[in-house]
Structure formats: structure tokens, C-alpha cells
Amino acid sequence: MDLLAMISLAFGAAWASGINLYATVAVLGLLNVFGFVALPQSLEVISDPLVLGVAVVMYIVEFVADKIPGVDSVWDSIHTFIRVPAGALLAAGTIADVSEPYQIAAVLLGGGAVALGSHATKSGSRALINTSPEPVSNWVASFAEDILVVIGITLAALKPTLFLILFGILCLFAVWILPKIWRGLSAVFGRISGFRKRKGEQVVSLSAKGFDLARPGDC
């Protein structure tokens, strides 16, 4: 595997892991099993039937959980501590045959930047989408993410040059969209906090007028 292919696979694995780790492992493992790509020796373990089986089962679980508004955000929160380290390990594994400084750089870039960035974009946008009462937008976003991961990791393995070009565009998009997601979530939480504050002030006001809200039957 040449340097360009290793860089593409490192970035691709880290980026895709930040969105859907189990789909990433399953796709890479299957590509290796069927001979479409020769993974580095350090990553050949993901082609093991046991690892592949667990990855597929967990992907099915995530596929269902990710389609349920609210549940998807809880799932994303839990997987903050799984996707990012796993993305860093996959990135490091792709360049295990080169010198140690490059491996450390892959961990820092793969886990600290790429996997964390894609995970933050995915989880933040889904949390914002969940503020809408209808479930359709959540389903559309979830299916789009599934398709994006499968296509993205396949391109990273088979078409490194094309993937790196598209990856650069995705990075620019993330830089543009993340502040907007943050401002949107801050506005939502601000409205929730303001609503609770107003409710509390109403309770205090009514209590001050002699109404016992805890025992409405005594009025």
C-alpha cells in the first residue's frame, strides 16, 4: 500500500468511525475478505469472522437506535467515548508499517481532529434535528449518514485521490456548519431555560398570593 493510499485510508477510517464505527469496521472487513483491498497487517483482525459478526450485529442495533428521535442522541453521547478512540486506533493501524512519529501523528489527527470533528458534526446536527416534532427529518438524516459512511469508506479504500478531494470539501463544510450547529443548540437550550425560569416565577407568584399548588383540592 503506497503512501497516498495509507493517508486516504487513515483519514477515511477516522472520519467514518466518528459517524458510524460499526459500519466502518464491517465495510473495511468485507472489502478485505472479498479481495477488493489489502488491509495492513495490523488491521487484518477486523476481517476475522468473529469481529465482522460483532460489527454487523452492532451496526443493526445502531441502525435501529439511530432512527428513533431522542434515542439517537443518547446513543451518540455514549459513543463519544467509543468512536473517537476507535477512529484514532484505526487511523494508526493503517500506517503501522511506517515510522513511529507518523503513527503518533495519525492518532492525533485521526482521533483528536477527524473522528472528533465528524462525530461532533453528526451528534450536534442530530440533536438539533430532534427539536422538530416530526420524525421524518431524523430518518432522512440517519439514512443519509449510513449511505455516506458506506460510500466514503469504500472510496477511501479503492479511490484514494477522489476520496481525499471529497474529504477536503467535507472538512471545509464541517468548519462552516459546526458554529451554526452550536449557535442553534445554544438557542434551543436558552429557550428551554427561559421557559423553566418563567414557570418558576409563576409558581412563586401564585404561592405568594396564598395558593397552595401542592394541594389543589383544598382550594
Residue 218 counted as domain residue: no
Q: Is residue 213 part of a domain?
A: no
Q: Classify residue 42: in a domain, yes or no.
A: yes
Measuring CA to CA, how many Å separate 106 from each of 39, 113, 144, 161? Answer: 16, 10, 27, 18
Indicate whether 116 belongs to any domain: yes
**Cell output for 44:** 487484518
Residue 207 lies in a domain: no
Range of the domain at 72: 3-198
16-55 confidence digits (pLDDT tens):
999 999 999 999 999 999 999 999 888 999 999 999 999 9
Confirm if 18 and 122 have CB atoms less than 8 A apart. Answer: yes
| 133-152 pLDDT, tens digit each | 778 888 999 999 999 999 99
Residue environment code for 91-101, b if the CB has 16+ CB neighbours within 10 A, otherwise e: bbbbbeeeeee
Q: Is residue 192 part of a domain?
A: yes
Report yes or no: 92 and 110 within 8 Å, Cβ to Cβ: yes
pTM (2 d.p.): 0.82
Has residue 210 been placed in a domain? Answer: no
As for how many domains the chain has, the answer is 1
